[in-house]
Amino acid sequence: MSHRFVHENRPGRVVFAAGARARLREEIDRLGLHRLIVVCTPGHAGLAAELAAPLGERIAGLHPHATMHVPAAVAAKAVARARETGADGCLAIGGGSAIGLAKAVAKDTGLPIAAVPTTYAGSEMTPIWGLTADGRKTTGRDPRVLPSVVVYDPELTTTLPPALSVTSGMNALAHAAEALYAPDGSPIHTLVAAESARALADALPRVAADPHDTDARSDALYGAWLAGSVLGATTMSLHHKLCHILGGTFDLPHAETHTAVLPHVLAFNLPAAPAARTALETALGTTEPASHLFHLAQGLGADMSLTALGMPEDGVETVVSQALAAPYANPRPITEAAIRHLLGRALSGAAPA
């Protein structure tokens, strides 16, 4: 095989262990931060206060107002609060919504981020920010939004409900799957993505069977970390494009949408991406990765219908026109017929074909 690639390592420190939250103060000291604004979703205010308590006077304020897809108005308020409090850093506790809000703050203020992820979304490992305004989600890359330190504590994920654990894990698997056929992949990214898919597919049934199984939680979070790192390092394709449009336009739930769409995009793309197909077959232990993932998620209780997730039937036209509007990387040429076909199946929750 003749290798040809560009590989770049990203800065950023990762601390991973059951109970790693106890090291937060040490990690904040290591960064030399003295006045942190803590961001989280409203439901995580209690957890954020608990994790922030040992940081004492280093906490400048708690801002529990993160919501999904980072609405521009929510971002503006968080930026204002960070400025008012004179914060010198931002501590994000929670899933992609909390980390997304911290990124919005970092993008405008340059404040460094310390992240304590509690889902499998993987945003903490990427320099990608997102903002939603007027029903459209905009994303971009900025090295300033990549967290300076990420503290992964699998014990913090045991409260993630089984259904959301499964869909969040599938969200991570989608990063790994699309990294396997990314136009800017590298041998390291391929190894990482394949290991991520293996770890997640192995861990999710165990997590669903016993959400308090800390070994299963550790394996799932490990897979999610790997998935986040390849998400941040490579260019995603059709699957992420479609989910981005669906989330931004219809405000569909992020992880659930990824779960319903992924098998259909893989059924379309894998015939044109033989190396990715082989890697996924090996990682998942199947000759039919798309169908395997559909039945894995469905069998663990995920809702595989976009209609059930809230997508209107007449929304197909909007998605088709947005998906075809700007060219982007994909292993297989994207046609209107292909998008209609796979969206149709995802709307009804049919198996990929």
Binding site for ligand NAD (CB under 6 A): 41, 43-44, 68-69, 94-98, 100, 118-119, 121-123, 126, 128, 130, 156-157, 159-160, 164, 168, 171, 231, 247, 254-255
CB-nearer residue toward ligand NAD: 95 or 289: 95
CB-nearer residue toward ligand NAD: 115 or 296: 115
- Four-residue CA torsion sign, 298, 302, 304, 305: positive
Distance CA 330, CA 342 (A): 15
Least Å from the CB of residue 274 to ligand NAD? 27
Which residue in the shown chain puts its C-beta closest to ligand NAD? 96
Least Å from the CB of residue 103 to ligand NAD? 7
CB-nearer residue toward ligand NAD: 309 or 338: 309
CB-nearer residue toward ligand NAD: 66 or 338: 66
CB-nearer residue toward ligand NAD: 60 or 128: 128
Least Å from the CB of residue 306 to ligand NAD? 16
CB-nearer residue toward ligand NAD: 190 or 229: 229
Least Å from the CB of residue 231 to ligand NAD? 6
Least Å from the CB of residue 314 to ligand NAD? 24
SS3 for the chain is CCCCCCCCCCCCEEEECCCHHHHHHHHHHHHCCCCEEEECCHHHHHHHHHHHHHHHHHEEEEECCCCCCCEHHHHHHHHHHHHHCCCCEEEEEECHHHHHHHHHHHHHHCCCEEEEECCCCCHHHCCEEEEEECCEEEEEECHHHCCCEEEECHHHHCCCCHHHHHHHHHHHHHHHHHHHCCCCCCHHHHHHHHHHHHHHHHHHHHHHHCCCCHHHHHHHHHHHHHHHHHHHHCCCCHHHHHHHHHHHHHCCCHHHHHHHHHHHHHHHHHHHCHHHHHHHHHHHCCCCHHHHHHHHHHHCCCCCCHHHHCCCHHHHHHHHHHHHHCCCCCCCCCCHHHHHHHHHHHHHCCCCC
CB-nearer residue toward ligand NAD: 41 or 148: 41
Least Å from the CB of residue 140 to ligand NAD? 10
CB-nearer residue toward ligand NAD: 119 or 148: 119
Least Å from the CB of residue 122 to ligand NAD? 5
Least Å from the CB of residue 281 to ligand NAD? 25
Q: What amino acid occupies position 275?
A: A
